[in-house]
Amino acid sequence: MELELEQASAENITPFGELLASGRGRTVTQTRFYDDAVELMEKPAFMSDADTCLSLARVRPRPLEVIWMERHFKHTQVFLPLNALPWCAVLAPPTTGDLPDLAQARAFCFAGDCGLLIHVGTWHEFPFALDAPTDMVVVLRNETNRNLDVVSDGEAVGEDLEKRNIVKRFGMRLAIRRSAGV
């Protein structure tokens, strides 16, 4: 099954999460300090608890095929690029069952100057580097990392995680197709 890679925008990301970038639809206010040299953007709807961690990941280019999709129940996950390189993410809306609805999956290209906050329950594959290794800040729960260490029959499941093998479950892969300019 092929997914056309589309440029991420504040509007088309809304069903899955929020675009994190300046000048992309966020309200900006001035602080009363620093002689207005600091502008404050509207806060994203980040949700987690004291068990949250910030980690760094280097994402190397790999085939643009989705093998895994996962979701989290207790936090909004955040991906923030560090080296201004484009990257992409495959997202599918939350479902009531234990598998994503692949017919609703979409692939988004992000400019290297913006990140992504994923709504609780949104299915996603770990981001793809498009042209070169991409360094990212990843904000998630420590519990999720612990859940990833408990693998049963090739999948990881815990109180904050369902990581499903799409190839095994559906007998196919999602392929991302890049078009001109994306």
Question: What pLDDT is attached to residue 19?
Answer: 84
Name the more confident of 55 and 104.
104
Asked if residues 51 and 141 have their Cβ atoms less than 8 Å apart, the reply is yes
> How far, CA to CA in Å, does 133 sit from each of 19, 62, 80, 122?
21, 10, 14, 25
Name the more confident of 68 and 37.
68
CA distance 68 to 99: 11
Structural domains in the chain plus CATH codes = 2-177 (2.60.120.480)
Taken in order 160, 165, 166, 171, the sign of the CA dihedral is negative
Does residue 179 register a pLDDT over 70? yes
* pTM of the full structure: 0.86
